[in-house]
Amino acid sequence: MTQRVFVCRCEDVTVAEIDHAISIGLESIEEIKRYTGLGTGPCQGKECTVALVRLLLDRGRIGADAVQPFTARPPSEPVTLAELATLEPPRRGKS
Amino acid sequence: MSARSALGSRTAALPAECDVAIVGGGVMGLATAYHIAQTSKAKVVVLERSYLVSGASGRNGGGVRMQWGDEGNVRIMMESIEICRGLTQELGINLWFRQGGYLFIARSAGGEARLRRNAELHRSIGAPTRLLSGEEAREIVPELDITGVKLAAFNAEDGVVFPWPFVWGYAGQAIKKGVVVRTHTDVLAAEHDKDGLRLRLGTGETLWAKVVVNATGAWSHDLNRSLGVELPNRPHRHEILSTEPLKPFLDPLVVDLATGLYFSQSTRGEIVAGITMPGPHDTGTTVDQRSSLGFLAHLGSTLVSLMPRLGSLKVLRQWAGPYDVSPDGEAIVGPTPGHPELVQVCGFTGHGFMMAPAVGRILANLIVKGERHPMLARWDPARFATGNSDRREDMIIG
């Protein structure tokens, strides 16, 4: 596998960039997300998280039992603002 | 310094004693650490409970503006924006700083009066804010629905940054200058010991420091309470979202004063948007970072009516983070009443990130040289006990 292989296709994060993040001491998937932008594009990590985990396991950075994906953020799939605009307005106290 | 801990680590070796221990690895703590290390030989340790960028510094919208209602805030943001101009080079990391301006729009007589008063103030101190009609605002953002807009205000030097690299940049440079950044290490309590404070850590270690800085913002109560200190800042949940990325089309960050809606296009191309939510606000000390469907609905309908073309834009993700709200909207910075070894840098009420470049320098100058920037008088943590608290600012958004 060359260093120019993409791990995150949405945000163009390569194996070389993940290796750089590892080399400067970042250990967890949350940190690597916030340093490289991995998982913040249209797929929201659905394509790239597994590839990242495999890479971290291959590099011996984490044990399989310590793997934690980053926090999943709603919505689970992209939704247009127009669709959201048709939802009921928030009720007082339930915001 | 080994490459392994270039950005902080859970295994960074702690000294037994240090000059300054900074609790909280957000932008305030790290900017302060960076400036202390730059201007002195003091031994500095930063302790972060989780990973860097895990708190409010990694959750805000990245807006940076000098359009405030109060002179002190305008000046401090002029200082901060001036620092931002050279900060990418100084920190050696791309901060995605883009000066596309801030466009405020007012639909009520009250909002119009605020913008007129601000523009007059800004002119008097050299901040280049211009007043615009609704039609002129639409020349800057052609897709805006300007129905009912009485007045707008635009300052081309305001802008946006991407918060994440900002924090990494300060951390990396602080570490290069000898600061120890220890992550995943909770501070359980502080106790008076000799002429300083001893911190008891969740790892079982202790760390003695001459000065301890509480830079934990919305999480600051626990450390304060361990010394019997009660300050009135409280966390308030603020939600935000970002969309799929588009080619650059939106220059300014737009704020609608009537609804508390704000949105901008980041240099990454996403629209980042937040809004003031109706309903009662939680007044407890617990930080709530849950996301809500109500936010998506309220923001979606408000944004689409202001800029109908955005209706077909897809939201990719939403999240929440805490504002650290102080009762008068003013930050809480300086030695703690009765505990001068504990220095607060909290209570920034949703605009701490943008002020951090200036505040880090101000606080470092206070700690290293005893230099008192004029803002420290009004940010004095003692003001609540002495009744000198005064609300000056009415341009807090969100």
Task: Quote the ipTM score.
Answer: 0.91
Query: Alpha carbon B389 to chain centroid distance?
Result: 21
Of B63, B91, B30, nearest in space to B157 by CA: B63
Find the angle CA(B313)-CA(B354)-CA(B31) to the nearest 5 degrees: 125
Q: Kindly indicate the confidence band of residue A58, based on its pLDDT and cuts at 50, 70 and 90.
A: very high
A60 interfaces chain B, CB cutoff of 8 Å: no
Secondary structure (3-state) at B268: coil
Contacts 24+ apart (CB under 8 A), B85-94: B87/B166, B87/B169, B87/B357, B90/B173, B91/B166, B91/B169, B91/B170, B91/B172, B91/B173, B92/B169, B92/B172, B92/B173, B93/B165, B93/B168, B93/B169, B93/B172, B94/B165
Q: Do A27 and B9 touch (CB under 8 A)?
A: yes
Residue B342's pLDDT is what? 98
- Per the model's pLDDT, the better-predicted residue between B30 and A64 turns out to be B30
DSSP annotation of B219 reads G
CB pairs under 8 A between A and B: 132
Per-residue pLDDT of chain B (398 residues; tens, 9 = 90+): 444 579 999 999 999 999 999 999 999 999 999 999 999 999 999 999 999 999 999 999 999 999 999 999 999 999 999 999 999 999 999 999 999 999 999 999 999 999 999 999 999 999 999 999 999 999 999 999 999 999 999 999 999 999 999 999 999 999 999 999 999 999 999 999 999 999 999 999 999 999 999 999 999 999 999 999 999 999 999 999 999 999 999 999 999 999 999 999 998 899 999 999 987 666 688 999 999 999 999 999 999 999 999 999 999 999 999 999 999 999 999 999 999 999 999 999 999 999 999 999 999 999 999 999 999 999 999 999 988 888 989 999 88
Q: Do A24 and B6 touch (CB under 8 A)?
A: yes
Secondary structure (3-state) at B308: helix
Nearest CA in chain B to A75: B317
Q: In what order do the strands lie in the sheet with A79-80?
A: A79-80, B314-325, B234-243, B271-274, B261-265, B253-256, B102-106, B151-155, B129-132
Chain B residues within an 8 Å CB radius of A70: none
Contacts 24+ apart (CB under 8 A), B133-137: B134/B105, B137/B103, B137/B105
Chain B residues within an 8 Å CB radius of A79: 296, 314-315
Nearest CA in chain B to A29: B51
- Please tell me the distance from the alpha carbon of residue B214 to that of residue B324, in angstroms, as a whole number: 13
Mutate to test the interface with A, among B168, B242, B296, B318 (most CBs of A within 10 A): B296
- Please tell me the distance from the alpha carbon of residue B332 to that of residue B329, in angstroms, as a whole number: 9
Residue A91's pLDDT is what? 57
Chain A residues within an 8 Å CB radius of B172: 24
A6-38, pLDDT tens digit by residue?
999 999 999 999 999 999 988 889 999 999 999
What residue segments make up the domains of chain A, in order of their start?
Answer: 6-85
The domain B98-157+234-321 belongs to what CATH superfamily?
D-Amino Acid Oxidase, subunit A, domain 2 (3.30.9.10)
Residue A94's pLDDT is what? 45
Q: Do A35 and B318 touch (CB under 8 A)?
A: no
Tokens 């750089």 map to which residue?
A: A20
- Does 1.20.1440.130 match the CATH number of domain A6-85? no
